[in-house]
Structure 1
Amino acid sequence: MSAPGLPPDVEAAFAAFPASARAGGLALRDLVFEVAARTPEAGPISEDLRWGEPAYLTAQTRSGTTIRIGAPKTGGYGLFVNCRTSLIEEFREMAPHLRFDGRRGVLFADRDRPDRVALAMLIRAALTYHLRKA
């Protein structure tokens, strides 16, 4: 399943990314929708802005925590989750080769090609976070 068209506000947020980070951010967006399509318990995901960044939520089922895609001031791009979850701590053990931003995200340099297999595990865990914690 391919990602749906960009809502205008989300399109504007991606357009505000530095040109060097935009393709990576959009690739992460595609991966979020691909994983969501293979995760029926998450239900449909909605795409919105949270803190000015593209955000992906399981609004209908409330099965997951919000996933955000951002372009940090330090450069590159990243995939972020709520820092109050245990997701990044758990994921750090599964994929120690990646670069992390504390308890909130995974960071990539502009030139990085993200590990899609590892990131798919993180995305699926985020989309079903509340189901696992129940």
Structure 2
Amino acid sequence: MKPEIQQKFSSYPLAAQKQLEEVRRLIFAVAEENALGAVEETLKWGEASYLVKGGSAIRIDWKPKDPDVIKVYFHCQTSLIETFREIYRQEFDYQGKRAIVIPLNASAESGPLKHCLQLALKYHSLKHLPLLGV
């Protein structure tokens, strides 16, 4: 983990740190399992951001105004959240067209979250397909 990401995560409560680290691990695992190449890890707008070639950026963060959740952010001009809402109506809460909301006490290792991350990391090869080919 890059020092700036580690520093950012370490400034959060322990439960938020653990949840963010789980989602981060899942992003890297999905990229590796799907042979998507190197994951670029940076801070964008003060949030941890992850991107692979041919994918859409994924950002993750915790905010003090919503202390019981982390959010997984997706580019709002993609069809990602719209697709997630269609196929995973009950599995997640959403914030507009931007984010999946994950409670700190929920498992970040769920199949639906892994699938959503996979769709984002492969977005540019799927965006022309209805429901991203699901």
Q: Same fold (TM over 0.5)?
A: yes
Amino acid in structure 2 at the alignment position of 1:26? E
The answer on whether the counterparts of 1:56 and 1:66 sit within 8 Å (CA) in structure 2 is yes
The answer on whether the counterparts of 2:22 and 2:109 sit within 8 Å (CA) in structure 1 is no
The answer on whether the counterparts of 1:31 and 1:116 sit within 8 Å (CA) in structure 2 is no
1:34-81 alpha-carbon deviations (Å, 9 max, x no partner): 1010112x32111111111111011xx3x0110011113312212111
Output the TM-score relative to the length of structure 2. 0.86
Percent sequence identity over matched residues?
Answer: 31
Structure 1 segments (4+ residues) deviating >3 Å: none
Matched, 1:15 2:6: no
The answer on whether the counterparts of 2:79 and 2:127 sit within 8 Å (CA) in structure 1 is no
1:1-134 counterparts in 2 under 5 A?
6-40=1-35, 42-58=36-52, 61=53, 63-72=54-63, 73-75=65-67, 76-97=69-90, 98-114=92-108, 116-133=110-127
- For the residues of structure 2 that align with 1:35 and 1:26, how far apart are their CA atoms? 14
1:17-38 alpha-carbon deviations (Å, 9 max, x no partner): 2223111111000100110101
The alignment of Structure 1 onto Structure 2 pairs a total of residues equal to 125
Q: CA deviation at 1:82?
A: 0.7
Q: Over the residues paired in the alignment, what is the CA RMSD in angstroms?
A: 1.4
